[in-house]
Each structure stands twice: as structure tokens, then as C-alpha cells.
A and B are shown apart, each in its own frame.
Chain A
Amino acid sequence: MNGEELRQANKRLALKLGAGAVVALAFGFALVPLYNVLCEATGLNGKTNAERARPAAVKVDKSRWVTVQFTGTVMPGLSWAFYPKVASMRVHPGEITRVSYYAKNPTNQTIVGQAVPSITPGQAAQHFVKLDCFCFKQQALEPGAEKEMGLTFIISPELSKEVGTVTLSYAFFPAVKGS
């Protein structure tokens, strides 16, 4: 190969490799929707249904108990008090259960917040069905106001027998515009 041919060959290969890097960049961004789809299909990241589920007639499985634990976290930027009224309870799969969280806004201005739920272990997420939840919409609290916020759920009897304890955790965020 003479100098000029080699130079051209080098340039072509370099451009191909550069294109490879661009494809890798696109792949990095494509991982975001891929991850979301995967999580939705498998409950991998503990996300539960974000909208009201229609109550279907399910049979209560009296032979089994599942322990449900509740936690609440207030995220930076939201100066509320927020915690579950009951920290832990035992339920039968299929049973409709209602619990509530307490929230108070001790500041002197109205604050809007949004709770984001998450289930551990992840494989329980699809079987934790929320019929009603304060996390379905943003919550506003006037200065000094307090509120009991309800949650109605069913644990589906399809939940794997290996799972004896389910933890529901809420992170309360300051409401984000446009979400």
C-alpha cells in the first residue's frame, strides 16, 4: 500500500470507529426506555400501579398471612412531617385493607407535595394493588394544616409464597411542575 492509499484506509476505518462510538452513545440513551419497559414488565424497581386499579372480585386467601410494613420519607425541600399511622400489619392476600399516613405542614406557606411509592422486594410490586391512594395526585397543605391521607390496597393472592413481608415506602417530594 502506498502512503496515500494507507492514509485513505486509515481515515475510513477511523470514521467507522467514530460511528461505532456514536452508536454506543445512542445505545446509552436507549437504555432508559429499555429499563423502564423492563421494570414495568417485571416490577424490577419496585414501582407500583400509578393509577387507581379497578377492584376485581378476588378470593381472600385465609390460609396465608403477609406482613406489610409502611415507611415514609420526606425528601429535601419539603418541610413536612410525614409518617404512617401504623408501622406494620398482617393481612391475608385478597383482603381489602385501608390504612393512613399522617402529614403536617408546620411552615407558614402552602406547600404542594407528591408522594412516590416503592415496594420491596421488587417482585411483590405487581401484586400490591392500590385501589385508592393519596399518591395518585398531588397533595396541598395550607400553613399549619395537618391531614390524614388514606391508602386502600389488596395484596393479590398471586404473590409468590416465598414473600412473607412486603415493605411499602413513600418518598414525599416537593411537587414538580409539569409532572
Chain B
Amino acid sequence: MTTATVSTHDDHHDHGHPSGIKRWLFTTNHKDIGTMYMIFALIMFLVGGMMIMGVRAELFQPGMQLMKPEFFNQLIGVHALIMIFAALMPVATGMANWLIPMMIGAPDMALPRLNNWSFWLLPPAATLLVMPFILALFGVGTGAVATGWTLYAPLSVQGGMGVDFAIFSIHLLGISSILASINVVVTILNMRAPGMTMMKMPLFVWAWLITAFLLIATIPVLAGAVTMLLTDRHFDTHFFDAAGGGDPILFQHLFWFFGHPEVYILLLPIWGFMPHILSAFARKPIYGHKAQVYSFWAIGIMSVIVWAHHFFTVGMPIPALLYFMYSTMAISLPLAVLFFCWIATIWRGSMTFETPMLFALGFVILFGIGGLTGLVLADVAADAQYHHSYFVVAHFHYTLFAGGIMGAMAGVYFWLPKFTGHMYDEKLGKTHFWLTAISFNLTFIPQFFLGLAGMPRRIPDYALQFTEFNMISSLGAFALGLSQLLFVYIIIKCARGGEKASDRVWEGAKGLEFTLPSPPPYHSFTTQPVVK
């Protein structure tokens, strides 16, 4: 190809890349890897979704109809692990692979071979996670991990071999995300086009930079915690075993030291999408670019000092309760700054409501509900009542499904024409949005009320007075699940063909990625653009 002044990858990729399976197995191209991440995420999203359909079917009526409680618990735990580690995180990493080089004017990611590794660790990790289900079918073991995604000791110390599989799976997933994060940081710090100063960087890139730092800082703590779990289980250590002088609560501290930053790891990339999308469809510049960067930093830093709000009820001293309550509530301040900037960006804009915009606006409203109910839970006195109830389940689905998945869908619809070179079917996209938004609320609004009325989470059976709301919730969930098949169809259709997308794709779109053709060339910027 042309004078590849900043090319860091092996030359042979420049003339005729391998085709067929080898192209995907050995690829070091950021777009190929990004695509694989996203296809993987979509498949796992459907797998995790199917599991929870089983759960909602069981909860359709009180009493035990379809499955044993152990199996129910396994479905819940594996659903959560898959959605978090194998759906939401990979889709964010896939988008990072596609977008970061294009947005900062680089030819590729800084460490292409590492990139290939980060992706190819994922399929074995996912396999390890679900393998115990399959082994159990053949009478080996007792099935997958049944502790919920939090893996609390002592339950996880006593659990069957599903726990060991989950531990090894988490190790692989962790290595994968650390490698990906290293790559992201190096790319952002070293590969920017001339003139692209840090403060000029697009917000998606900024959000990912902080995400990557958080991952590098907290994933190893989780890896350490599950390693201790493993040695407690098999090598006679007593980290979490009270009989041997350990302390099960220690596990909760270690887990949530990772776990709370993790919720921001999941959401930061999505918050990065929003200003791009909102400003494009409001045809106005992004409001508060700097304010959003500082908010990202504030949230990232504060996220590592609030973890114990997930177990207020274990019996902490009052001063500790107060500290964790106030620090948690303080995080909502920078978060409110973000909300303010999003709203100010579309304020009095000439808005149009294409699918990405619908998803983005849906995100702002529904994620707002997630954040506000989080404040309720952060109140120590209220949390004593709501902890481990369905209220918590509703809260974190407003943040993780509406905030995470729907936000990711906004991003996918927004950049998909750029990736594929074709417009997706707008009518089907809008239908997908409305089906998703309505059935999502149908599923989770009842869960708030169930929680307020005292229904505990992670229970396969319930008292009769909870029946109606559970039925509504289950029907909503089935509709929500089915609606996602439409999403798959829309994406396949768009990849196959459709109206040709222009370079700019959207009238109001800005950013370096929209100066490239749609679809962009195999190596994004072989000659770096100069940013003024």
C-alpha cells in the first residue's frame, strides 16, 4: 500500500490478507477483531437471554414447575456472568477496536498481535463457563456455578465443580480484558494523529481510556479473590473459611472492590457514545466536552472507594456505614453533570428521531431511573429493607439493560452504516426500539413493586400475593427476548446489503471516522490526518 508512515503491524498484511477461516483466526486487523468481538457479544447476549427466559418461565407462577432449584440458581448465576463478561464488555471492546483508531486518526491498534489474543481468549472462557451444564447432561458433576455472579463464600467454597469452571473462566476473561485494556491505553497515548491533543480527543475515546485504567486496576483484584477461592476449595487454605481463622466477609470486600468499579467499566464506554449520537441528531455541538471528561475521571476515581454499599447489611460499624453511604451518594454528582450535558446538548436542537437517537434518548430516561433508584439503595436505612430484594434486580437492570445494552444498541445503530457501508432498515430499527423499550419496562417496573412488597431475589418460588406482578414481568421478558431476534435480523440484513451509506452517514455526524469512506479501508488511516 502507500507510504505507511505509522504502520506498526507486519508488512504481509498490507498485500492481500488471508481469506476464509485463517483471516479470522490470525487476524491482527482492528476492524476484523472488532467485528469478531461484536458477533461474539451478540451470540452470548442471546445465550444469556435464553437462560433467563427459563428463569422467567419458572417464575411465571408460584410453585415449582419446570426445574429444580439448583438448576434455577445455575441459570441465574451464569446468565449474569455471561451478560456482564461475555456480552456487555465484549461489545464495548468491539466498538473500541473499530472506533478508537478511526477516531484518533491511527492506522490500527498499537499492539495488533496482542489484540488477536485478547479476542481469542474469550470463546474458551465462555465455553468453560457453560461446559458444566453440558457435562451434567452426561452425568458428570452437578452443573454450572450456582452461587449467583457474586460467588460469595462460604457457598462458593462448598459448591460443586461448576465453581471451579467459573473460576478458570474468570481468569481467562480477566486476562483478555487486561490485554485489551493495555492495547487501548497504548493506542490512545501513542498513536494519535498530529494535532489530536488529549483534550481534543472524542469523548468515546476518553471514556475508554478511563475504562481501561479501571480494568487494569481492579480485574487483578478479582483474579486474586477467585484464586483464593480456588485454594480454599482445593489446597487447604482458609482465606474465607471461619473454621480455619478466615473470614467470609473478606470475600465480599475483595469482590466488590472490583465489582463496583466494574459497573462503571460497563457503562463508561456507553456514556462515551452518548454525546456523539445526541449531538449528531440534535445538529448541535457537544455541550460540556471538558466537563464530561472531568466527570469521567471523577466517577472513575470515586468508583474504587464506595464498594461496601453492596453489603451494608453484614453488620458494619455505624461510621463505616455512614462513610460508604455518603461516598456512594457523592458519585451521583458527577453523574448528574453528565446527564446535564446530555440534556443541554439536545436542548433546542433541531432533532430528528432515527433509531440511534431513539435508543440514546431511551437510554437517558431509563438510565436516569436506574441512577435514582440507586440513590434509594445507597440510603443505609432504606437498604436494610430493600437489600437482596427484587428492587435491587430492577435497579441494576435499569442501569445495565437500559443503560448498558440499550446504550450499546444506540452506538451500534449509529456506526453500523459506517462499518458495513449500508444503511440498516430504518423502519425495522424503530420497531425494534419501541418493542424493546416497552417490553423492558413491562418486565422491570413490576419488579420494583415486587421488591418494595418484600419479594427476595434469587428464589425460584414465591408467596401467592406476588403472582400477578410476576406474570406481567414474565410476559414482558418473553416479549423483550423475542424482540431481540429482530435486532439480529436487522444486523444481518444490513451486513448483507441495503441502501449505500454516505461517508458522513448522518447529516449531523462529526469526527474523523466520518471522513473515511463507508465502509472504511482495511487500514483506517495509513497517512495520519492532521487535526487542527
The answer to whether the Cβ of B16 comes within 8 Å of any Cβ in the partner chain is: no
Question: In the complex the two chains form, what is the Cα distance from A87 to B221 in whole Å?
Answer: 41
Q: Is the CB of A17 within 8 A of B190?
A: no
Q: Is the CB of A31 within 8 A of B221?
A: yes
- Known contacts A42-B317, A122-B317, A179-B238; is-contact A17 B185 (Cβ 8 Å): yes
Q: Is the CB of B224 within 8 A of A29?
A: yes
| One of A17, A171, A174 near B216 (C-beta < 8 A) | A17
Question: In the complex the two chains form, what is the Cα distance from A76 to B243 in whole Å?
Answer: 11
The answer to whether the Cβ of B111 comes within 8 Å of any Cβ in the partner chain is: yes
Nearest chain A CB to B423 CB, angstrom units: 36
Nearest chain A CB to B36 CB, angstrom units: 21
A59-83 contacts to B, CB under 8 A, are: 75-76
Q: Is the CB of B316 within 8 A of A122?
A: yes
A139 partner residues in chain B, CB cutoff 8 A: none
B146-179 contacts to A, CB under 8 A, are: 158, 178
B5 partner residues in chain A, CB cutoff 8 A: 2-3
B318 partner residues in chain A, CB cutoff 8 A: 123
Nearest chain B CB to A136 CB, angstrom units: 14
Residue total for A at the interface (Cβ-Cβ under 8 A)? 47
The answer to whether the Cβ of A49 comes within 8 Å of any Cβ in the partner chain is: no
Nearest chain B CB to A157 CB, angstrom units: 20
The answer to whether the Cβ of A56 comes within 8 Å of any Cβ in the partner chain is: no
Q: Is the CB of B317 within 8 A of A25?
A: no
Nearest chain B CB to A75 CB, angstrom units: 7
B241 partner residues in chain A, CB cutoff 8 A: 176
Q: Is the CB of A14 within 8 A of B186?
A: yes
| Stretch of A4-12, A88-96, A101-109 at the chain-chain interface | A4-12
B211-237 contacts to A, CB under 8 A, are: 216-225, 228, 236
Nearest chain A CB to B11 CB, angstrom units: 10
The answer to whether the Cβ of B189 comes within 8 Å of any Cβ in the partner chain is: yes
| One of A21, A35, A114 near B220 (C-beta < 8 A) | A21
A121 partner residues in chain B, CB cutoff 8 A: 315, 317
Q: Is the CB of A21 within 8 A of B216?
A: yes
Q: Is the CB of A176 within 8 A of B220?
A: no
The answer to whether the Cβ of B375 comes within 8 Å of any Cβ in the partner chain is: no
Residue in B closest to A4 when the chains form the complex, CB atoms = B8
Residue positions of A touching B, CB distance < 8 A: 1-3, 6-7, 9-10, 13-14, 17-18, 20-22, 24-25, 27-29, 31-32, 35-36, 39, 42-47, 75-76, 114, 116, 118, 120-123, 171, 173-179
* 5 nearest A-B residue pairs (beta carbon): A28-B224, A173-B243, A25-B220, A28-B221, A24-B220
